[in-house]
Structure 1
Amino acid sequence: MNSLDRRYFLKLSTLALGGISMGLLSNPSKAVGLKQNLRLGFVGIGGRGSYHLDTALGITGVEIPAICDIDPKNLYQAKRWIEESGQPSPRLYDRGPTDFIRLCEEEELDAVICATPWDTHAPVCLAAMRNGKHAACEVPIAQTLEEAWELVETFESTGK
């Protein structure tokens, strides 16, 4: 198939993300072929991000070694939750709206969970994929057709 219409692309993307999510929730280490814990980094931990963080902290075998947010209140609240769950204190990324790039470059993570405003979904996921990490994001992951194709092409070249 040389052309892919938007509706078919979105349907396939939604089915794929749903399948991956179900696999991760049932057994995170086995789902990605790990013999160790699943290491997640979070970008955006206010609002929906705090919900996703709370969910991840309740899953056996999930570690949160790094978090990123532009709001210090959100960042330090999430840090406290992670420590209260019995995990080591995460590294904090708070040097501005593009510090997620540094997180993706420096951290040894299996996946990055993106819960930022819509206009940064694609840049966060692309940074994760280009740095050897899987990326997870709520919809919409892309706001333009160009972003959607960039995500597809990055997946094809990185396998992430």
Structure 2
Amino acid sequence: MHDAPGQRKSGAFCNAVVNVSSHPLTPAQTKLLRKNLSFCPTPHAINYIELSEDVYRFCRRLRLAEFFCDREDTETDNDADPPHATLPDFLRKPSPFTPDIGRDIALDTYIKAITIDIMTLRQKDFSPNFTSDEKTALKDLKTNTNIIIKPADKGGAFVVMNTAD
């Protein structure tokens, strides 16, 4: 006797999709959901603008860590603090401050090396890890505001429910 696809020998479903919504799932949508909720599609190409921004933010964090590493956190009297210092964090504007280049030669060399290495990366041949039908299914599931997809409490199944429920 052979086990059905998606079943364990014990009879419990593995990566089963339980649809309790009013939206009927296509075979491609079901196949996509069985890949797991942590499935990540292979990107078509490297977004060099986004990559450049990420590298800049990373390098800025390194420079800030080096700049403030020797500072001690000292408690000051609240009367001496400017009014914006007592604002909650979510109301404060983030500081645009970036320490100058040249403060730490080793850090500057490291930042230059990783920036060159990362920005000169070339993407290997693109091989998609899902079919065009699954790509369409992913787009349809993402844009469908009438359903929600969640992992089941037990058994490794996924449940498709109406958002109104």
- State the TM bucket, normalised to the shorter chain: under 0.3
TM-score for the superposition, normalised by structure 1: 0.23
Q: What is the TM-score when the length of structure 2 is the normalising length?
A: 0.22
Higher helix share: 1
Question: Which structure carries more relative contact order (alpha carbon 8 Å, separation 6+)?
Answer: 2
Q: Larger radius of gyration, structure 1 or 2?
A: 2
